[in-house]
């Protein structure tokens, strides 16, 4: 693939790295790993629920990406292509017993500087985790990709294979459910 095929607006640093890799400088692939490692690891945690399995998953994903770089055509952002590989790898790897866990279940609300503030934050975190955990899995995946991975509807379509209107519907319905369940905690609603 030639560099002019990359979509306009893609991160310049990433574009340069991809050009260098295609030019034979395979050692710079580590820069892409470093840039996306935490997001891929977090996706692994969402599916596998432990650090060792998430770490193995991330290594597997980056190996697949490295081996498949010649198939990246630049019709989407590199990160979208990477997340699609990660998502498909995770879906194909989990057993039927294990299920997806939202990033909302992670400790996203830091502790406060006083006991009252800490208690409110803890209650909010528990309420969000419970509400997100009760969403259907397809809603949780779309919500995570949209809010925690900052992916567009079109990118979520490319990653999950859900049609873009289905993605929009899942996000809309999930927000509606969360707004209803979290009404006591959320001022101004979930946007």
> How far is CA 86 from each of CA 46, 57, 95, rounded to the nearest angstrom?
12, 8, 16
Please report the pLDDT score of residue 120 as a whole number: 67
DSSP 144: I
> pTM of the entire structure?
0.61
Cα dihedral 20, 34, 58, 19 in deg (nearest 10): -10
Identify the residue whose tokens are 């809309």.
Answer: 172
Q: Walk along the chain (191 residues) and give the pLDDT tens digit of each residue.
A: 333 344 444 567 788 888 888 888 888 899 999 999 999 998 888 888 788 888 999 999 999 999 888 888 877 788 888 999 998 888 887 643 455 555 555 544 444 456 776 676 677 777 777 788 788 888 988 988 888 788 889 889 988 889 999 999 999 998 888 888 877 665 544 44
CB distance 100 to 137 below 8 Å:
yes
Q: Count how many residues are written for the chain.
A: 191
Query: Domain spans of the chain?
Result: 3-93, 112-181
Helix ranges, the chain (H): 12-22, 29-48, 51-68, 78-93, 115-133, 137-143, 153-160, 164-181
CATH C-level class of 112-181: mainly alpha
Structural class in CATH, domain 3-93:
mainly alpha
Cβ atoms within 10 Å, residue 129: 17
What pLDDT is recorded for position 172? Answer: 92
Looking at residue 100, its pLDDT comes to 59
Equal fold, 3-93 vs 112-181: no
**Alpha carbon distance 87, 21 (integer Å):** 24
């Amino acid at each position: 693939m030639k560099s002019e095929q990359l979509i306009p607006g893609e991160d310049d640093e990433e574009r340069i790295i991809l050009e260098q890799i295609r030019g034979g400088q395979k050692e710079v692939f580590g820069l892409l790993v470093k840039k996306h490692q935490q997001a891929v690891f977090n996706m692994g945690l969402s599916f596998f629920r432990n650090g060792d399995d998430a770490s193995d998953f991330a290594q597997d994903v980056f190996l697949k990406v490295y081996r498949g770089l010649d198939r990246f055509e630049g019709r989407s952002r590199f990160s979208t292509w990477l997340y699609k590989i990660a998502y498909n790898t995770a879906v194909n790897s989990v057993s039927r017993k294990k299920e997806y866990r939202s990033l909302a279940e992670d400790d996203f609300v830091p502790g406060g500087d006083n006991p009252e503030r800490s208690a409110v934050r803890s209650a909010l975190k528990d309420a969000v985790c419970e509400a997100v955990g009760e969403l259907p899995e397809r809603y949780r995946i779309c919500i995570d990709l949209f809010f925690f991975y900052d992916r567009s509807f079109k990118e979520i379509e490319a990653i999950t294979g859900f049609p873009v209107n289905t993605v929009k519907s899942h996000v809309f319905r999930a927000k509606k459910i969360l707004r209803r369940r979290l009404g006591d905690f959320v001022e101004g609603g979930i946007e």
